Structure 1
């Protein structure tokens, strides 16, 4: 009943079977195949960390570089905001003490309030310098620790630690002495 509806497929015109000439065969660079794994030197990572994000680049942790630059950019943006407002209120406070007009003259703000605003922005600015140093130090420490741990053996093989019980003879009429020896091999 279905025999009349079955049809064979037409052969594929693209598929050809033959010998590929040596010039057309893909070339495998044996230098890439047989290359030794990179040994990460923590001191080098620390030196590269003098450039923000450089330690992460040295450790080939590319995904961390935008995080480092975002942290630096955020702290610098807040630092710039506090610096500009500190300068505004410092200038206004100095002009208020001199009895000259300033940008806040129309608003009823006395010299004491201008001083409080100036001091608050100064305190925030100084705190941001601390955060800038903390971000710089944190990225350097992270690169150093990452370089240390890249060379760490995380193999499940624990045979380098061997516990060996031994029985040592102690004398002709005495029982043997039991000794447990813990040996670590590199």
Structure 2
């Protein structure tokens, strides 16, 4: 009986030493390098910055108003550009037409004629006294000439604004707008005196 116990214990010890030796050999054995390693990743490639893009947008808008906005793909701005320019041109044309009316009548009176449109009534009959005096003609010319010049300046300003808008839009389109960076206004009630405080908050998330 004792021999059986000794034999069994010896057998267990030999088995344990064998397992330990095998584990040690496995640890010392160099691991095999796989032939191919596949890395699952997502690479986001940003569009390259084109430094000439703003200049192109401004050039296109200078050639044809609204073309720079189309180049920037801001198509909704094109009707606004033409509406603004059309309004300026309309007021310039209207004031120029009225100015020419009063100027022609005034020149006619300086030449000694009394047959200008202001000497006629609604039925086209000659009046003894004009509906607009000479002084009135001078004041009207001054008024419409000033309005005409203002309309021209406004139209030129709108044309320049169209070019500037296209240029600035092209610059902004190349900026990286990150959701981690935000700028937002906020309004808070002051608990001390119940007054409102208006502020601006800049948040940056790491």
How does the TM-score come out when normalised to structure 2? 0.56
Q: Does 1:147 align with 2:159?
A: no
Query: Which entry has the higher C-alpha Rg, 1 or 2?
Result: 2
User: Residues 62 and 39 of structure 1: is their aligned pair in 2 closer, same or farther, counting only changes over 3 Å?
Assistant: farther
Residues 97 and 111 of structure 1 are in contact (CA less than 8 Å); yes or no, is this contact kept in structure 2?
no
- Runs (5+) with no aligned partner, structure 2: 1-45, 120-126, 182-206
Q: Which residue of 2 aligns with 1:65?
A: 78
Q: Measure how far apart 1:97 and its partner are.
A: 1.5
Deviation (angstroms), 1:138 = 0.7
C-alpha distance in 2, partners of 1:39/1:56?
18
Q: What is aligned with 1:115?
A: 138
State the secondary structure of the residue aligned to 2:179: coil
The alpha-carbon deviation at position 157 of structure 1 amounts to: 4.2
What corresponds to 1:48 in structure 2? 60
How do 1:22-171 and structure 2 match up within 5 A? 37=47, 41-50=53-62, 51-100=64-113, 101-105=115-119, 106=127, 107-157=130-180
- Report SS of the residue matched to 2:118: coil
Provide the rounded CA distance (Å) in 1 between the counterparts of 2:134 and 2:140. Answer: 10
Q: Deviations over 1:29-69 (max 9, x none)?
A: xxxxxxx8585611111111111111101101000000000
The answer to whether the 8 A contact 1:42-1:145 is kept is yes
CA distance in 1, matches of 2:106, 2:79: 40
1:38–1:66 Cα change, 3 Å: farther
Instruction: Tell me which protein shows more helix as a share of its residues.
Output: 2
Aligned match of 2:11: none
- Unaligned runs of 5+ residues in structure 1 are 1-35, 159-186
Partner secondary structure for residue 104 of structure 1: helix
Runs of 4+ in 1 over 6 A off after TM superposition: none
